[in-house]
Structure 1
Amino acid sequence: MRKIDAIIIGSGQGGMPLAKKLAKAGWQTAIIEKRLIGGTCINDGCTPTKSMISCAAAAYTIANSKEWGITVDSYRINLEKITDRKDKVVSKFRDGATKGLEETEGLSIIYGEAAFSGPETVTVRLHNNDETEEILTAKHIFINAGTSPKIPPIPGLDKVSYLTNTTLLDIKKLPSHLVIIGGSYIALEFGQMFRRLGSQVTLLEASAQLLKREDEDVAAAVRKVMETAGITVHTNANIHKVEQTGDTVRLSVASGGQTMAITGSHLLVATGRTPQTKALQPEKAGIALDEKGYIIVNDRLETSVTGIYAIGDIKGGPAFTHISYNDHFIVYKNLVEKGNASIKDRPVPYCMFTDPQLGRVGMTEKAAREAGFKVKVACLNYENVARAIETGHTEGFMKAVVDADTDKILGAAILGAEGGEVMSVVQMAISGGFTATQMHEMVFAHPLYAESLNNLFTTLKK
């Protein structure tokens, strides 16, 4: 048994910086990784998908180049080269992350699968030829083990060759028809990407709208983007069964009062994520879980067991890389700097990297009204944004929710070119307590997309 100061389970976007900071603060630290350094973001999520999405965007620009007065006679998609490029980008990020950990004094990397054997003890089944075990004990343990794809109990699904967001990244042959179960971020980003690369795409969403947590007008606008791109969308879709014949997957689907048969060459299951808690055996440490298996934490990210913390997706709540990264600040400030940091009331910005992007921060209109606010809503179509007209990217709209009593901005949805960047400007305004009137009167450089925030908040004056 090796006694150290801190054990970190998982090398995601919260675990890695926390491990380095604790080690540099003089804590003898070990970080345990069962698969690849970097977690989901680097290996299966943000880095690889955005690398491939950029290739699909290039294909779209070429295919539609006549709109900009440029004629391209022909082009072809080389999916193998696209995935090779993606792999190089991922390797660069992962190798850099690994090197950063390896070069940190006082920090050791252990490759293996961790499980609790007590409140302060973790047993690691090492990834070596002997499959030996190492037992570690520490007063402080941080769980950054993340989530994995959630597979719904659809009859026949376990008997077909379906793909997840991880396995779809490595296919070398372009699907002739990609059928996607799901209607949120992963489904929409992959759906648009493969449509632009040349696949027929069908989306099946069980809820009444895509992006079920967004306002209806935002979800409807996103659906229009998908359908304009040639993607078939079925909402309120109830999948009765799935079966496979040779290379063809067949789904029996009820939607819109009728039952239909949908066949495809490939099937992507993108119905959410599930926490990777079972293998950790949290019950042996007394760690409380919620009904879905996520680790329950307080506002300081401490679990039901003193000294054990959960950061990132495994604790539930917003499942974003930047939230995991911010989590590490919370625990570090409190434990090392003796601060009083909390996750309570922190902003949760996020961006869906479809084209156009959907940048979101703060409250939706629906949430604001349910919370009892008297709200004003500002809307501006991208067709009226100068920069969008000049660049030829006029799809989408801006929406801001404002407290009618105080004029403070409660939230915003920016569906449009560089929507995430424009949303970040609004986020800073919210954090700084700016009012809608101040944003209306703000001086922005012309002709930026952000400049259109002047006009967005002007709509409240009409």
Structure 2
Amino acid sequence: MDPQVQPEVYDLLILGSGAGAKLLAWTFAGQGQRVAVVERKYVGGACPNIACLPSKNVIHTAQIAHNVRRSEEFGVSIDNFRINMPAVRDRKRRMVQGLVDTHLALYKQSGAELIMASGRFVGPRVLEATLADGTKRLLTGKNIVIGTGTHAAIENIPGMAAAQPLTHVEALELDVVPEHLIILGAGYVGLEFAQAMRRFGSQVTVVDRNERVIHGEDEDTTEGLQSLLEDEGIKLVLNAKVKSVAGVSGQSVRVTLSQNGVERTLEGTHLLVAAGRVPNTKDIGLDLVGVELTERGYIKVNERLETSAPGVWAVGEVAGSPQFTHISEDDFRVVRDNLLGGNHVTTGRQVPFCLFTDPEFARIGMTEKEARSKGIAYRLFKVPMTHVLRARSLMETRGFLKCLVERDSDRILGFAAFGVGAGEIMACVQIAMLGRMPYTSLREAILAHPTIPEGLIALFSSAAS
């Protein structure tokens, strides 16, 4: 840092513009503080540009394609149709541009300054922002928030880098339907892309090192998801370790793996890596200012989201928070309140999960696996989706609803849904949990007929095990 150059002074400086970061910028700028956000590439962060929202846009288009293929079931005759992937991509791009324009308007409205540049620490609470033309700006803030997010992990496997595999970023920009897509990873990203690309017409093979997809969930969930994928013609290669990769994604790729001690080879046209995330903490000067990292490379924070450096905070995935936009938004509330003199902590907060396959999987609170491991006695309410009359009217009855209720009280411990509208019905139960309502309140509620949440009456009227 050049001692002759005096940094520009701000009340709040933010590195990265993801969910938690941008909300902090707009909030404090709107209150009259001088705020600047340094963002390297994506206005608004990953969610509106390359992750949550564009992926759901493409998934919805795949749902339309799936429904067209099933048109005879609905009494609609369609002789033939084709997938126009450039049009799928352009539809997604239009949505993204609209979201970016909305973000830019909110920056202007709030008064927060958006600086498109690469930022790094060069001193305590001092950032150097390098703009695209090479110009540098020196910035200092009373408080600094780091919200640089994560990126897709690419393992150091022989031939992997040379194969130029897709990540979710490139997969959302495809203008062709892959003839045969091999996906490494059976987590949320891998499964959502697997079903979408299969519905566009790809052959799809999913490879994972674990014995089950979404292996952290209860067995009935993973069995239901595996059955769904297999029924749609997706091949699952589980309990497999990738040994090497040959070829180039988009042309021809060959994946050599070991499965149950036996070596085998998969051949495809495209390779998508969806096997974990890496925090964006490299080359941003954290070591210069005493911001400590965890063993996994995430920024070490306390329950108030303070880092080890005075006046420096971290939000979202880079802080090791659960990797969901809704959690990053809650990180915003935590830091906002603490900057205003409060004592808001992350301890004990609810983390809702939602996998946007068709049908969806959604969960809030404790799983059966967790309850058993902690020795917590529970009653289990569980019904198939055939008990939900709205699902019957849609003729979309795959899946189930289930809820764990504390054995010695009527307190809801956890809820899971695998079925149509799972995310929406989960929210109903989550609100009941936030209000500390007993499960009987949902059982006795007057819920509109026929709606998906009405299924909660059937669920809680069933016999518990």
TM range (shorter): over 0.9
Distance 2:136 2:287 in 1: 20
Equivalent pair of 2:379/2:464 in contact (CA under 8 Å)? no
Q: 2:129 aligns with which of 110, 124, 141?
A: 124
Distance 1:247 1:21 in 2: 48
> SS at the partner of 1:139?
strand
Aligned residue identity for 1:34: R
Deviation for aligned residue 1:256? 4.1
Equivalent pair of 1:400/1:411 in contact (CA under 8 Å)? yes
1:280 and 2:277 aligned? no
CA deviation vs aligned residue, 1:396-436 (integer Å, no higher than 9, x gap): 11121221112211111111101100010111111111222
Deviation for aligned residue 1:454? 1.1
Equivalent pair of 1:396/1:416 in contact (CA under 8 Å)? yes
Deviation for aligned residue 1:458? 2.1
> SS at the partner of 1:426?
helix
Distance 1:231 1:156 in 2: 25
Q: 1:240 aligns with which of 238, 243, 264?
A: 243
Aligned residue identity for 1:115: R
Distance 1:80 1:385 in 2: 38
CA deviation vs aligned residue, 1:112-145 (integer Å, no higher than 9, x gap): 11111122111111222xx121111112000111
Aligned residue identity for 2:120: A
* TM-score of the two chains, using structure 2 as the length reference: 0.96
> SS at the partner of 2:73?
helix
> SS at the partner of 2:242?
strand
Q: List aligned pairs for 1:230-379, cutoff 5 A.
A: 230-244=233-247, 247-336=251-340, 338-379=341-382
> SS at the partner of 2:414?
strand
Indicate the residue corresponding to 1:6 in structure 2: 12
Indicate the residue corresponding to 2:31 in structure 1: 25
Q: 2:398 aligns with which of 380, 395, 398?
A: 395
Aligned residue identity for 2:116: Y
Distance 1:178 1:242 in 2: 14
> SS at the partner of 2:128?
strand
Equivalent pair of 2:210/2:238 in contact (CA under 8 Å)? yes
Deviation for aligned residue 1:91? 0.4
CA deviation vs aligned residue, 1:15-34 (integer Å, no higher than 9, x gap): 11110111122221110000
Distance 1:258 1:459 in 2: 46
Distance 2:300 2:382 in 1: 38
Indicate the residue corresponding to 1:380 in structure 2: 383
Which blocks of at least 5 consecutive residues in structure 2 are unaligned? 1-6
1:42 and 2:42 aligned? no
Which blocks of at least 5 consecutive residues in structure 1 are unaligned? none
Q: Using the aligned pairs only, state the percent identity.
A: 38
Deviation for aligned residue 1:248? 1.1
Equivalent pair of 2:315/2:321 in contact (CA under 8 Å)? no
Equivalent pair of 2:382/2:464 in contact (CA under 8 Å)? no
Q: List aligned pairs for 1:58-137, cutoff 5 A.
A: 58-105=64-111, 107-128=112-133, 131-137=134-140
1:430 and 2:433 aligned? yes
Distance 1:244 1:367 in 2: 42
1:167 and 2:170 aligned? yes
The Cα RMSD (Å) is 1.4
Aligned residue identity for 1:120: R
Distance 1:386 1:228 in 2: 24
Indicate the residue corresponding to 2:3 in structure 1: none
Distance 2:374 2:384 in 1: 27
* Structure 1 stretch displaced more, 430-439 or 3-12: 430-439
> SS at the partner of 2:410?
coil
Equivalent pair of 1:288/1:303 in contact (CA under 8 Å)? yes
Distance 1:461 1:223 in 2: 26
* TM-score of the two chains, using structure 1 as the length reference: 0.96
Aligned residue identity for 1:72: I
**Displacement over 3 Å in runs of 4+:** none
Q: List aligned pairs for 1:142-157, cutoff 5 A.
A: 142-157=145-160
Equivalent pair of 1:376/1:460 in contact (CA under 8 Å)? no
Change (3 A) 1:66 1:392: same
Distance 2:125 2:100 in 1: 30
* Structure 1 stretch displaced more, 211-220 or 82-91: 211-220
Aligned residue identity for 1:15: A
Distance 2:136 2:91 in 1: 37
